[in-house]
Amino acid sequence: MHDICCGRSHPLGATIRHNGVNFCVYSKNCTSMELLLFESEDAKQPSRVITLDPATNKTYHYWHVFVPGMKAGQIYGFRAHGPFDPSRGLRFDPSKVLLDPYGKAVAVPENYCRSAAGCAGDNTGTAMKSVVCDPRGYDWEGDLPLKQPFARTVIYEMHVGGFTRHPNSGVPAEKRGTFAGLVEKIPYLKELGITAVELLPVFQFDWQDAPTGHVNYWGYSPVSFFAPHHAYSSSKDPLEALDEFRDMVKALHREGIEVILDVVFNHTAEGNDTGPTLCFKGLENGAYYMLDGDGSYANYTGTGNTLNGNNPIVRRLIVDSLHYWVEMMHVDGFRFDLASILARDETGCPMKSPPILWDIDSDPVLAGIKLIAEAWDAAGLYQVGSFIGDNWKEWNGKFRDDVRSFFRGDNGTVQNFASRLLGSPDIYGHEEREPEQSIHFITCHDGFTLNDLVSYNEKHNKANGEENRDGSDYNLSWNCGAEGPTGDHGIERLRIRQVKNFLAVSLISLGAPMLSMGDEVRRTQAGNNNAYCQDNELSWFDWDRTNSHADIFRFCSHMIRNRIRQAMSRDSALSLNQLLRKARIDWHGVRLFQPDWSHESHSLAMTVWSLDDRVMFHLMFNAYTDPLDFQIPSVAEGPKYVWRRLMDTSLQSPDDVVSINDADIISVGSYPVQHHSMVVLVARFSASQSGAPHAQSA
């Protein structure tokens, strides 16, 4: 009976036993801990306060208690008493209700108030609170993470809320902007052909962490690393959010689509010394955050604080969170926001062998789970090509920049462009790693949409309320002749061409491609390149564009399917270096075997054979302002073996991309590639023709 009353120090969080709930929370310097129980999330006072006795309810630095008779659905929080001495990293404030760092669900009051958690005084009635839940009872019906090979992966980065929140989405009003709403649109994702969705943050976040009059739309402001965001559930019941998320995962898995979560283990919504006390700051500030010598917050994230990822307590929290989302929620992978933060030690210095990154890389539960790093941070640590670990893939920001520069017509871009096509061996060739170590993209949530990349020279962020100072000024964009929407048909045709160029290069290059939500229908943010605080039609997916830009959708869908078919024929066991050593590639300019690598060059061509020599491709790229006549190599003798035009971004739909069986024969020795466009020719050989000779000049 004594053990039942005292509780146990493991596991952390609220754990349902057969006759009650065990609570455990970490706090080293707390002098007194209270468990608060509530009748509802809006309750102004707790219905019961359980004071934990440090003599019987504390083991080492863990406070624990067992409450008999309690069940799932109980709303709770903590109050931690202790010294308030910021210079020593101590910020205890017993007037604040604190979330459980291991809480699996969060209840949000109608009048939640972030500012009340940052001011003096009691905030009980306006605080988020944790909810006891039992994640073990869900019926997965045999579902497991899919563990699809990266070689056949096409990622679609998307915002759960923005995907279906628009009134024209066709989703029932009660499901718009929710996990259930996303399920309604799975047929669209299947038609597009992507194999994985990468969801912007779905951990519970503080939407009030934004400038006055705005909301935090993207969700990079976490308050929990276990609980799904309450507003993405179509039910007000916090426990329903768990099931709705799992229903979504299960439905996507049934259609062969993986679920990757964008996770934020680099900072929290608690901000700096003027920010609110919501959870970690009030429990053990000095353990959870990197602090300078005077107790102020180190800010390597640009958000006010930096999570102390290599502290043992935080390391355990991160790994436990990843385990939970894989084992209990069945997700297929994670993209780590500002992942280079996790390479810093507790003083902020980069480490040669960061413990937390190796913890994740070598963890058996995470074996086969996709791990993707945004390999930089806001303080200048840039690790693209040098991120630690054997299993991590990296967002390849250099692919984005070099491909943008090439098609914009910048000088000195051809050599880098060629390297990006081949999986960036100049960045990754020093390791014997798979080609998909490079996760390449042209656009993502952060920056211009693809439509805006070809429609604006400058950012237009005044709606964010920061006088256009926010957002990057380094966009490598080109408006094609007019800023923003235009009635000029020539400019519009050029923009369509450029959109297709970017999509096509993403989907033919070695590596794993990532597309951004709505780029396949030219989603626009009216030139806003930092729409983090725009939870409105500026950011939402406008479903009318699936009709008005059906040509781009068709082009993108065809290119995805062509890519996956080619990937299925490749030996996925080959490293990038092995693949390039085995590959048969000839480089050309407008004349065969005469590539122009000069500073002023804006054109390139290449002939590539499949590894079994049964398919040959000839690719031509023209980023020049005028058409260029490219010589094309001859194919094997006989009328059966000819070049067919698989794709030409200058042509209108449906001629811009076709299946090989419908492709037109190209029988002449040259091909006119229009300005700012690219062309792919293909020739197929029978089994008896495998080992066909290298292409020859026509």
3-state secondary structure 152-181: HCCEEEECHHHHHCCHHHCCCHHHCCCHHH
With a CB cutoff of 8 Å and minimum separation 6, the contacts of 9 are: 24, 59, 60, 62, 64
- pLDDT for the residue numbered 698: 37
Burial class (CB in 10 A: 0-12, 13-18, 19+), 432: exposed
Report the pLDDT averaged over residues 500-523. 98
CA distance linking residue 40 with residue 47, whole number of Å: 9
CA distance linking residue 91 with residue 376, whole number of Å: 30
Q: Kindly tell me if the per-residue pLDDT of 638 is higher than 70.
A: no
- Residue pLDDT, tens place only, 225-261: 999 999 999 999 999 999 999 999 999 999 999 999 9
Q: Kindly tell me if the per-residue pLDDT of 1 is higher than 50.
A: no
Collapse the DSSP code of 488 into the 3-class scheme (helix H, G, I; strand E, B; otherwise coil) and give the result.
Answer: coil
Give the pLDDT band (50/70/90) at residue 448: very high
H or E, element range at 608: strand 603-609
CA distance linking residue 115 with residue 591, whole number of Å: 66
- Output the pTM of the full model: 0.96
Burial class (CB in 10 A: 0-12, 13-18, 19+), 248: buried
CA distance linking residue 290 with residue 277, whole number of Å: 16
Give the pLDDT band (50/70/90) at residue 661: confident
CA distance linking residue 342 with residue 354, whole number of Å: 7
CA distance linking residue 622 with residue 590, whole number of Å: 9
Give the pLDDT band (50/70/90) at residue 167: very high
- Residue pLDDT, tens place only, 174-212: 999 999 999 999 999 999 999 999 999 999 999 999 999
Report the pLDDT averaged over residues 558-564. 93
Q: Kindly tell me if the per-residue pLDDT of 690 is higher than 60.
A: no
Q: Kindly tell me if the per-residue pLDDT of 696 is higher than 60.
A: no
On whether the CB atoms of residues 528 and 460 are closer than 8 A, the answer is yes
Rg of the chain in Å (alpha carbons):
27
- pLDDT for the residue numbered 569: 67
Give the pLDDT band (50/70/90) at residue 4: low
- pLDDT for the residue numbered 639: 53
Instruction: Give bridge partners of residue 440 from the DSSP assignment.
Output: 396, 513
CA distance linking residue 696 with residue 586, whole number of Å: 10
Q: Kindly tell me if the per-residue pLDDT of 687 is higher than 90.
A: no
CA distance linking residue 322 with residue 344, whole number of Å: 20
Report the pLDDT averaged over residues 382-406. 97
Give the pLDDT band (50/70/90) at residue 56: very high
| Cβ atoms within 10 Å, residue 434 | 24
Give the pLDDT band (50/70/90) at residue 307: very high
Q: Which two tokens stand for residue 56?
A: 């019987």
Q: Kindly tell me if the per-residue pLDDT of 637 is higher than 80.
A: no
With a CB cutoff of 8 Å and minimum separation 6, the contacts of 73 are: 131, 132, 133, 239
**C-alpha 192, offset from chain centre:** 18
CA distance linking residue 542 with residue 335, whole number of Å: 26
> Which domains are assigned to the chain?
2-137 (2.60.40.10), 153-568 (3.20.20.80), 584-689 (2.60.40.1180)
- pLDDT for the residue numbered 385: 96
Give the pLDDT band (50/70/90) at residue 404: very high
- Residue pLDDT, tens place only, 74-114: 999 999 999 999 999 999 999 999 999 999 999 999 999 99
Q: Which two tokens stand for residue 270?
A: 């608690």
Give the chain's mean pLDDT: 95
Question: Which ranges of 212-311 would DSSP assign to H, the alpha helix?
Answer: 238-254, 280-288
- pLDDT for the residue numbered 41: 96
Q: Kindly tell me if the per-residue pLDDT of 141 is higher than 60.
A: yes
Q: What proportion of the chain, given as a percentage, has pLDDT over 70? A: 96
On whether the CB atoms of residues 398 and 667 are closer than 8 A, the answer is no
Interior/surface letters 502-534, b for 16+ CB within 10 angstroms, e for the rest: bbbbbbbbbbbbbbbbbbbbbbbbbbbbbbbbb
On whether the CB atoms of residues 676 and 504 are closer than 8 A, the answer is no
Give the pLDDT band (50/70/90) at residue 218: very high
Report the pLDDT averaged over residues 1-14. 81
- pLDDT for the residue numbered 684: 87
Which of 99, 17, 10 has its CA nearest to residue 60? 10
Q: What proportion of the chain, given as a percentage, has pLDDT over 90? A: 93
CA distance linking residue 419 with residue 413, whole number of Å: 10
Q: Kindly tell me if the per-residue pLDDT of 594 is higher than 60.
A: yes
Report the pLDDT averaged over residues 588-604. 98
Token pair 């990296």: residue: 394
Catalytic residues: 337, 374
- pLDDT for the residue numbered 686: 64
Collapse the DSSP code of 367 into the 3-class scheme (helix H, G, I; strand E, B; otherwise coil) and give the result.
Answer: coil
- pLDDT for the residue numbered 511: 96
Which of 161, 155, 266 has its CA nearest to residue 216? 161
Give the pLDDT band (50/70/90) at residue 697: very low
